Chain A
Amino acid sequence: CCCRALLSRPHGALRPRRALAHGPEMHFGFQTVTEEERREKIYQVFENVAKKYDVMNDSMTLGIHRLWKDILMHKMNPCPGTLLLDVAGGTGDIAFRFINYVRAVRQRQLQRKLKHQQNLSWQEIFESYQKDKFNSLGDSQVVVCDINREMLKVGKQKAQHLGYSEGLSWVLGNAEELPFDDDKFDVYTIAFGIRNVTRIDLALQEAYRVLKPGGRFLCLEFSRVSNPLLSRLYDLYSFQVIPVLGEVIAGDWKSYQYLVESIRQFPPQEELKAMIEDAGFFKVDYENLNFGIVAIHSGFKL
């Protein structure tokens, strides 16, 4: 059928690859590599895409990734005073949303407080306003942790450009071995990052370790589309269009080929749920967005 002709790559180009080096075999997209090679390759991918990361996200998802991240934030529903760890947070999308959210909640808090203080003198109102004004985030804090220097660099530049400084810190670190003490954070998020972690089980264990008892784990990630028709359209778009977008916009075909392949290699919803439970989390659940193109997994450390 002409569809096949349109979509198939030249046969002459296909020849079997030699077996690769020693070490445990892992996948890098559809290639087979060792663990060490995988880490290196993924580091390089993000080093290459860092500057165009946000532009590419908007192009590939037609801006819908912003909605997904907004939904994540609403699900989290943080109150002022929350300490958030955003892992693989690179360019800061989740962190900035968090700050906006708690700031808005804090505003509403302060307004409600002022409404109840009808009988105070101007002096007293002024003083209480002063006290709270310098606490517009209500002591909320977010730590952005990423393994890749280039991504952090882009994130910091963005923060400066957009005017985010309070309650925000940037840490270079590996999700498999976090540079934080036990029982520190109220919420742990990892948005579109866990797919790139080489040992997901270790990352989940670390997440459990650094969360306070009662803390929440939230993971936003590409997942499995079960609807067959939609799945085919999604595959078509992913494999035919996305690498082309990568080449045209970022001058980088291979990184985006890796991206779409890695989505196919990642565990589907139920399997990820089981892995999160294995790490010790309770009340683990997931919510599909856009028919499973993306899923939010949530769990609690109790």
Chain B
Amino acid sequence: GRARPSHSEPRGRDGRGREEEMEGWQQLYPGYIPTSPLQKALLAAGSAVMALYDPYRHDMVAVLGETTGCLALPNLRDKMKNHPEGYRILQERPRIRLSTLDMGRLQGLPDGSLGREYVRFLEDNKVSPDTRMPPKFVDDEELAYVIQRYREVHDLMHTLLGMPTNMLGEVVVKWFEAIQTGLPMCVLGAAFGPVRLSTRKLQVLATELVPWAIRSGLNSSCVLNVYYEQRWEQPVESLREELGIFPPP
């Protein structure tokens, strides 16, 4: 098994030396893939098209978020840094996963509490917090955590807003998130998601749900600055009031 020596040295493609490539890249974080600006642009375009074409490709929505978030993510990170609770989250890096959640305890909490309602939401919609894609294309390790946190908190958004995981519910949550985070992916999702809805649903969306989502989004303080893991006992309504989310229609 003699290793084959490399042949004519290829010129550095995408501006990098051959040697650097031979050594490979050490992970900024597990799953990290460095990409050139051109690749990011292609990924953004490709994932946008694919996400519209096949809404079940959640990984494409994730990729779209990562490749277009270069302005919104640092913004979000700064918002978190400048808030005491957000700052703590950035330091401690909590993860919302089945392995870290005490499902039994949460189920035992009183009705109306964040923990109980969150578990109810997971059960009713048959979803799990473990299906969130880890980030791949974010070039900063802290920003990668921010987007990961955003993804893991998404289900809690559903709980706070009282929205189910059908297309309509998702679009409403996207409107809320678009205002809150400024992530282009949320904006695109909010704008193009309704394309697949029936006229009846579109009507409800346009007249009641979206205005409410926008008002709540503008009025509410940053949802990423809430250390949810320390507030399972807090009633959902109390948390809504604290944040500034108006009661769902």
Question: Which residues does A use to contact B, with CB under 8 Å?
Answer: 3-10, 12-17, 23-27, 30-32, 35, 198-199, 224, 232, 235-236, 238-241, 243-245, 247-249, 251, 253-254, 264-265, 267-268, 271
Question: Does residue B26 face the partner (Cβ distance < 8 Å to A)?
Answer: yes
Contact A26 B38 (CB under 8 A): no
Which listed residue (B2, B34, B60, B136) contacts A13, Cβ 8 A? B34
Contact B59 A13 (CB under 8 A): no
Interface residues as binary, B1-42 with A (CB distance below 8 Å gives 1, 0 otherwise):
111101110110111100011111110100011111111001
Residues of A contacting B7 with CB < 8 Å? Answer: 224, 267-268, 271
Q: Give Cα A31–Cα B4 distance, bound, in whole angstroms.
A: 13
Contact A6 B36 (CB under 8 A): yes
Residues of A contacting B57 with CB < 8 Å? Answer: 251
Which listed residue (B8, B32, B38, B47) contacts A7, Cβ 8 A? B38
Contact A248 B46 (CB under 8 A): yes
Q: Give Cα A185–Cα B14 distance, bound, in whole angstroms.
A: 45
Known: A8-B36, A24-B3, A26-B3. A240 touches B14 (CB 8 A): yes
Closest Cβ of chain B: how far from A208's Cβ, in Å?
20
CB under 8 Å from chain A, chain B span 145-188: none
Question: Does residue B237 face the partner (Cβ distance < 8 Å to A)?
Answer: no
Which listed residue (A32, A254, A268) contacts B33, Cβ 8 A? A254
Known: A13-B139, A240-B14, A253-B136. A245 touches B46 (CB 8 A): yes
Closest to A17 in B: B24
Which listed residue (A8, A32, A241) contacts B16, Cβ 8 A? A8
Q: Is the interface of A mostly helix, strand, loop or mixed?
A: helix
Question: Does residue B50 face the partner (Cβ distance < 8 Å to A)?
Answer: yes
Question: Does residue B226 face the partner (Cβ distance < 8 Å to A)?
Answer: no
Q: Give Cα A24–Cα B23 distance, bound, in whole angstroms.
A: 17
Residues of A contacting B10 with CB < 8 Å? Answer: 235, 264
Q: Give Cα A264–Cα B60 distance, bound, in whole angstroms.
A: 29
Contact B26 A7 (CB under 8 A): no
Known: A9-B14, A248-B43, A254-B33. A27 touches B4 (CB 8 A): yes
Closest to B57 in A: A251
Contact B34 A9 (CB under 8 A): yes
Closest Cβ of chain B: how far from A217's Cβ, in Å?
20
Known: A6-B36, A235-B10, A248-B50. A25 touches B3 (CB 8 A): yes
Residues of B contacting A243 with CB < 8 Å? Answer: 39
Residues of A contacting B38 with CB < 8 Å? Answer: 6-7, 240
Closest Cβ of chain A: how far from B55's Cβ, in Å?
15
Q: Give Cα A20–Cα B59 distance, bound, in whole angstroms.
A: 31
Question: Does residue B63 face the partner (Cβ distance < 8 Å to A)?
Answer: yes
Known: A4-B15, A27-B4. A17 touches B33 (CB 8 A): no
Q: Give Cα A16–Cα B17 distance, bound, in whole angstroms.
A: 13
Known: A7-B38, A240-B38. A235 touches B13 (CB 8 A): yes
Contact A267 B4 (CB under 8 A): yes
* Total A-B contacts with CB atoms under 8 angstroms apart: 115
Residues of A contacting B8 with CB < 8 Å? Answer: 224, 268
Please indicate which of the listed interface residues A35, A235, A240, A244 has the most CB atoms of chain B within 10 Å of its own CB: A244
Closest Cβ of chain B: how far from A249's Cβ, in Å?
8
Q: Give Cα A292–Cα B230 distance, bound, in whole angstroms.
A: 62
Please indicate which of the listed interface residues B32, B33, B39, B42 has the most CB atoms of chain A within 10 Å of its own CB: B39
Which listed residue (B26, B28, B59) contacts A16, Cβ 8 A? B26
Residues of B contacting A31 with CB < 8 Å? Answer: 24
Closest Cβ of chain A: how far from B229's Cβ, in Å?
30
Residues of B contacting A267 with CB < 8 Å? Answer: 4, 7
Beyond the given pairs A4-B15, A248-B63, 16 more chain A to chain B contacts, judged by CB atoms under 8 angstroms and listed by A's residue number, are A7-B38, A8-B15, A9-B16, A14-B26, A16-B23, A24-B3, A26-B1, A26-B4, A27-B6, A31-B24, A224-B8, A235-B13, A239-B14, A244-B42, A265-B4, A267-B4
Interface residues as binary, B100-143 with A (CB distance below 8 Å gives 1, 0 otherwise):
00000000000000000000000000000000000010010000
Known: A13-B32, A265-B4. A251 touches B59 (CB 8 A): yes
Closest Cβ of chain B: how far from A285's Cβ, in Å?
20
Residues of A contacting B139 with CB < 8 Å? Answer: 10, 12-13
Known: A236-B13, A239-B14. A30 touches B63 (CB 8 A): no
Q: Give Cα A35–Cα B3 distance, bound, in whole angstroms.
A: 9
Contact B63 A239 (CB under 8 A): no
Report, nearest first, the 8 A-B pairs whose CB atoms are least far apart. Answer: A8-B15, A15-B26, A248-B46, A7-B14, A9-B34, A4-B15, A24-B1, A13-B34
Jot down 5 A-B pairs with beta carbons below 8 A, ordered by A. Answer: A17-B25, A26-B3, A232-B11, A241-B42, A247-B63
Closest to B46 in A: A248
Residues of A contacting B32 with CB < 8 Å? Answer: 13
Q: Give Cα A27–Cα B59 distance, bound, in whole angstroms.
A: 30
Q: Give Cα A9–Cα B21 distance, bound, in whole angstroms.
A: 11
Residues of B contacting A254 with CB < 8 Å? Answer: 33
Contact B23 A8 (CB under 8 A): no
Contact B1 A198 (CB under 8 A): yes
Residues of B contacting A199 with CB < 8 Å? Answer: 1
